Amino acid sequence: MILTVIIVNYNVQHFLEQCLNSVQKACLSIDSEIFVVDNNSVDASTSMVKEKFSDVQLIENTKNVGFSKANNQAIKKAKGKYVLLLNPDTIVEEDTFEKIIEHLDKNHEVGAVGVKMIDGNGKFLPESKRSLPTPSVAFYKISGFSKLFPRSKIFAKYHLGYLDNNEIHEVDILSGAFMFLRKKTIDQVGLLDEDYFMYGEDIDMSYRIKLAGYKNVYFPKTTIIHYKGESTKKGSINYLKVFYNAMIIFARKHFSKKNASIFSFLINLAIYFRASIAIFNLAIKNTILPIFDATSIFIGYKIAIPLWENYKFSENGVYPKEFLSYVVPSYIALWISFLYFNKGYKKPISLKNIIRSLIIGTLFILLFYSLLNEEMRFSRILIIFGFVWSSISIVLIRIIFHFLKIDGYSLNSVKKKKIAIVGENDEFERITLMLKQFEYKLGDIWHISLSKKSFSSEFSGSIENISDITTLNNIDEIIFCTKYISSQKIIDIMHKMAHINVNYKIASHESFSIIGSDSIDSVNELMDISNNSIGKVANVRKKRIFDILFSAILLIISPAALFFVKNTKGLFINISKVLSGKMTMVGYLLAKNVDISNLPSIKNGVLNPSDYFSSKKIISKEVAERINLQYSNNYQIVKDIYIIFRAFKKLGN
């Protein structure tokens, strides 16, 4: 046997499906075998493999054993002369394997091969080629010098920025997303080191291959798409900690004790430094506008209180100092909280959400005001004033930001997407229907045909003119239909159009998934160690406590809540069921044929995650299951709060 392809999967069913489709096409003329090692996914990945890829050898783990151990399980069974370790969030060209095998057959000193990788927007991924992370190389990377001097042989050594991306080079380190190895090389240097749960195993394996006298080669004569390359989570504190700790393991294993200590110190310093910057930036980003709002409301009260005292009482000092020091800030905190939880700070700005949030907040304040002792009640008029002034000042701030053209603060309505679908008539019509189901804000839909046949849309063109069509018509998104266009052609177009600001997605004719870097199918990372399952004991406890507290609050404010809930009788029935433990406030989306058997068990919900959306369109089975999976795998109480506030009127359903 010539080739063994090994794919480790964890909760990325739709990426895996497209990856396997591309791998099978690339293996058509090669004697090969394909392994999928599943690390206890709960998204129906395994059933999809069994149903659609019966020739694939599936290894089902009962827990997430990590990337290295999962790969080793399949390597031990591999029969191929060559072994490819491949991420499931990749798409390979039809001749990728043939080109690499030909190169390896001619160059026996090469032990492993990596390829040119691009992200979901067609941009080159620098991790396609890397240098050994020595203390100095790591320091220049961590400190940011590599970004300042991207072509320097000294400062840009980590990603070898001085080497031509389109030329074959011998390199130190290959990416674990695509590592094509000789089986005899693995037999000689050993399996992947299982000390690395995630990240770092590719650095370790590449280094051991070099120590054994083989070469690691960067081979850009073929290109693959690697979606994870542009993942936003790569900038997260959790990612930095896991990735750099993997580098510390490598240093302790392969460097001298002195160098390893220096390296560990630098890495830990980098983690704290980068984490501090990330936390600071996040704090500034999330608090700057609420601070503006709170300050403007407070200034309004500061000016209005003495004026009202003079007008109403003809004397100063009627209200105690505590009113401005404690009571007013409490009002402001409530208004800001309701703005936050009702998407008042979500971009693009919605004035409707802002006013609605302030109205609800004011009703809460008036309700609690009525429950206070007489000596603690100051003035309903000042509460109403606060609402009016808050509405005026907050809207005014948004208008100012809008005219200053500050990013994300446009008051224009949500822009409708202009989409181009590349394929023939049948796929054009199928994808158009899918887009409507996925709640896209659809504008013009262009049909870009691969042939000279008649088009399905008045907005039509030929693939030869795809670049001009995209630029001239301000296309936002291009969807490629794999039924009529090869992976190689898709990758070539994406790479050539990388300079154009457009999103790309790929629609496989074998499934209902539309995959892209910002696709709704992107439910999880490859191995999301921050997975926060709703089934965890702590989350079960938190959810129950939240249900009880919120139900109690609903009972207290029920006179006001009745104005917003459609079915008042149903509201009290639902509250009683939640308090008794028969229901939860937010549960799974239950619909015909929707499978939740693989998800942690929770009570039926008064609401479900789809209630967050206002659309009344019918949700397909696949979309419903993805919504449930996302809710289950990454549970946070704040998500329940978001859903409840978005669908408050449905609490009586």
**CA 424, CA 405: separation in Å to the nearest integer?**
40
Q: How far apart are CA 446 and CA 418, in angstroms?
A: 8
Residues of the chain with CATH 3.90.550.10: 3-227
Question: What pLDDT band is residue 461 in, cutting at 50, 70 and 90?
Answer: confident
Position 260 scores a pLDDT of 65
Which carries the bigger pLDDT value, residue 411 or residue 241?
A: 411
Q: Pick the residue with more confidence: 636 or 393?
A: 393
The rounded distance, in Å, linking the Cα atoms of 493 and 478 is: 11
Q: Is the pTM of this model over 0.75?
A: no
Band of pLDDT at residue 232, cut at 50, 70 and 90: very low
Query: Could you tell me which residue, 352 or 294, shows the higher pLDDT?
Result: 294
Q: What is the mean pLDDT of residues 416-444?
A: 77
The residue with greater pLDDT, 439 or 42, is 42
Task: Name the residue type at position 491.
Answer: I
Q: What's the mean pLDDT in 250-264?
A: 66
pLDDT of residue 533: 73
Helix axes 96-106, 13-26, angle to 10 degrees: 60
Three-class HEC string of 108-135: CCEEEEEEEEECCCCCECHHHCECCCCH
Is the pLDDT assigned to residue 488 strictly greater than 70?
Answer: yes
Cβ 588 vs Cβ 605: under 8 Å:
yes
pLDDT confidence of residue 462: 82
**pLDDT value, residue 88:** 92
Share of the chain above pLDDT 70, in %: 81
Centre a 10 Å sphere on the Cβ of residue 224 and count the other Cβ atoms it contains: 25
Question: 532-583, pLDDT tens digit by residue?
Answer: 678 778 788 888 988 998 888 888 777 777 777 888 888 889 899 999 999 9
| Spatial distance between the Cα atoms of 502 and 497, rounded to a whole number of angstroms | 9
| Cβ atoms within 10 Å, residue 208 | 20
β-bridge partners, 124: 118
Cα Rg for the chain, rounded, in angstroms? 29
Residue 508: is its pLDDT beyond 60?
yes
**β-strands 477-481, 215-226 pairing:** unpaired
The better pLDDT of the pair 189, 43 is held by 189
Q: Which burial class, exposed, middle or buried, applies to 237 when counting CB atoms under 10 A from its CB (0-12, 13-18, 19+)?
A: middle
Per-residue pLDDT, averaged over 215-229, amounts to 89
Q: Is the pLDDT of residue 32 over 80?
A: yes
Is 3 in contact with 30 (CB distance < 8 Å)?
yes
The segment with the largest mean pLDDT, out of 98-102, 170-174, 264-268, 384-388, is: 98-102
Whether the Cβ atoms of residue 591 and residue 624 lie closer than 8 Å to each other: yes
Top CATH class of 3-227 equals: alpha beta
Secondary element (H or E) of residue 637: helix 637-646
- Rounded average pLDDT over 266-279: 67
Contact between 102 and 236 (Cβ < 8 Å): no
The mean predicted confidence, pLDDT, of the chain is 81
| Lowest-pLDDT choice from 1-5, 54-58, 90-94, 592-596 | 592-596
Rounded distance, CA 87 to CA 231, Å? Answer: 14
Q: Give CA–CA dist 532/634, Å, rounded.
A: 5
With a cut of 50, say whether residue 363 has pLDDT above it: yes
Which residues have CB under 8 Å from 607's CB, separation 6+? 585, 586, 587, 643, 644, 647, 650, 651, 653
If phi over 0 gives left and psi between -120 and 50 gives alpha, with beta otherwise, what is residue 343? left
Torsion region of 565: left, alpha or beta (phi above 0 gives left; psi -120 to 50 gives alpha): beta
Give the pLDDT score at 255: 65
- Could you give the 3-state DSSP secondary structure of residue 261? helix
Q: Which pLDDT score, from 0 to 100, does residue 234 have?
A: 47
With a cut of 80, say whether residue 259 has pLDDT above it: no
CATH (residue range 417-516): 3.40.50.720
Q: Tokens standing for 407?
A: 């990013």
Question: What pLDDT, on the 0 to 100 scale, is given for residue 521?
Answer: 37
Compute the distance between CA of residue 391 and CA of residue 137 in angstroms, rounded to an integer. Answer: 53
Does position 342 have pLDDT exceeding 80, yes or no? no
Which one has a higher pLDDT value, 41 or 274? 41
pLDDT at position 34: 97
**Which alpha helices (DSSP H) does 314-371 contain, by range?**
321-322, 328-341, 351-371
Convert the pLDDT of each residue in 581-616 to its tens digit: 999 999 998 887 788 877 888 999 999 888 876 555
CB neighbours of residue 131 within 10 Å: 18
Which regions of the chain carry the CATH code 3.40.50.720? 417-516
Q: Are 413 and 396 in contact (CB under 8 A)?
A: no
Report the SS3 class of residue 268: helix
CA distance 620 to 23: 28
Q: Which two tokens stand for residue 560?
A: 């006001």
Q: Return the percentage of the chain with pLDDT > 90, whole number.
A: 25
What residues form DSSP beta bridges with 446?
420
pLDDT band, very low/low/confident/very high, at 402 (cuts 50, 70, 90):
confident
| Per-residue pLDDT band at 326 (split at 50, 70, 90) | confident
Q: Is 309 left (phi over 0), alpha (psi -120 to 50) or beta?
A: alpha
- Mean pLDDT lowest among 14-23, 346-355, 451-460, 629-638: 451-460
